[in-house]
Amino acid sequence: MRRATIALVAEKSGYSVATVSRALHNDSSVVAETREHVLRVCREVGYEPSIAGRRLSWGNKAVVGLSLGAHDHAAGRFVSLMHQALSHQLGLSGWSVELITSDRFNDGLDIGGLILVGIGPNDPRPASAVARRIPTVAIGHDLDCFCVAADDHHGGELAAQHLLGLGRRRLAVLQGKPEGGKRVLRVDAFVATAQAAAIEPVIIEADATATPSLQGYRALAPRLVNGVPFDGLFCETDELALGALAALEDAGVAVPEDVSVVGFDDLPDLAARLTTIRQDFPKLAEAAIKLLAEARRGAQPRKLLMPTELVRRQTT
């Protein structure tokens, strides 16, 4: 049996060795379909890129820092899944991942790039990283660096349109406490879509002093003591929705007969029966690493929006 080499991958895939090499390095000149085909052939022939060799020649520049934000030690499921997806995609490209905790962020970072997760309003990390000339990509919206995000605006619209299409007219939104007083895009879009149908949703804010699911429970339970003031509920995240569903169940409210519930994220282990708005974590990670390659080449920062879609399950 022939030894698996990059030349064998090139032969089997029908591409040149140079194209295969660029695909394995996540070069943005290689389209996604080509890269996926190359990776599939790598798996078929048993070829693994020489990660150790790259690290030897690049030194610490083969390390990508991953910063989860101010709450990195108590990160929720979304951040955990992004971490997994990014680590997997970086590994395929020959990078290793170093977790940069908040207390280390302003230290001298000898890394080849940086990916920021959990961006909030007035977050100092993007500007700090750019000022230090670290190639940086943020998972978030409207930043002065390379960034990639799910299309939250479209997702919020989809959630509202779905509930309105079910005939729900007394709508509510369960959201985390807005940082800096600013609502997230998905909530803004939901509210605007409802208002266009002459409906003013009730906004319920969760207190950020517990886990997200417990926040959702604590925020909703008091509202159900004297009946249910809404028949359609949009939760900013699946984790909040999990707590909301528990509160509704404890109050004897039937879902979806009495109240339809929609979440956001499509977290694999939380959304088994939840109607939700899906964002594709592997695709977000893949796009982030593509942008990181551009940032390392000194290209002009740009933003990528990834599609969101409604996934209907048992809660609507």
Q: Are residues 45 and 156 in the same domain?
A: no
Tell me: pLDDT of 288 over 60: yes
Q: What are 308's strand-pairing partners? A: 279
Residue 44 sits in a domain of what CATH number? 1.10.260.40
Residue 233 sits in a domain of what CATH number? 3.40.50.2300
Res. 60 pLDDT band, cuts 50 70 90: very low
Q: Are residues 164 and 275 in the same domain?
A: yes
274, 313 Cβ separation under 8 angstroms: yes
As given in the structure block, the two tokens for residue 235 are 């939760």
**Average pLDDT for residues 131-141, to the nearest whole number?**
87
Secondary structure letter of residue 237 according to DSSP: S
- Report pLDDT digits (tens) over 225-269: 999 999 999 999 999 999 999 999 999 999 999 999 999 999 987
Report the C-alpha gap between 79 and 69 in whole angstroms.
Answer: 10
Domain-located, residue 96: no
Domain-located, residue 20: yes
- Report pLDDT digits (tens) over 83-112: 888 888 888 777 777 777 777 777 777 788
266: left (phi over 0), alpha (psi -120 to 50) or beta: left
Domain span at residue 255? 152-279
Domain-located, residue 130: no
Domain-located, residue 7: yes
pLDDT value at residue 232: 99
pTM (two decimals)? 0.77
Domain-located, residue 208: yes
**Other beta carbons within 10 Å of 125:** 24
Domain-located, residue 185: yes
> What is the layout of strands, in order, in the sheet containing 113-116?
96-99, 63-67, 113-116, 136-139, 146-150, 303-306
Domain-located, residue 86: no
The alpha carbon of 212 is separated from its chain's Cα centroid by a whole number of angstroms, namely 16
Domain-located, residue 111: no
**Number of folded domains that form the chain:** 2
pLDDT value at residue 155: 97
122, HSE (Cβ side, Cα atoms, 13 Å): 5
Tell me: pLDDT of 74 over 80: no
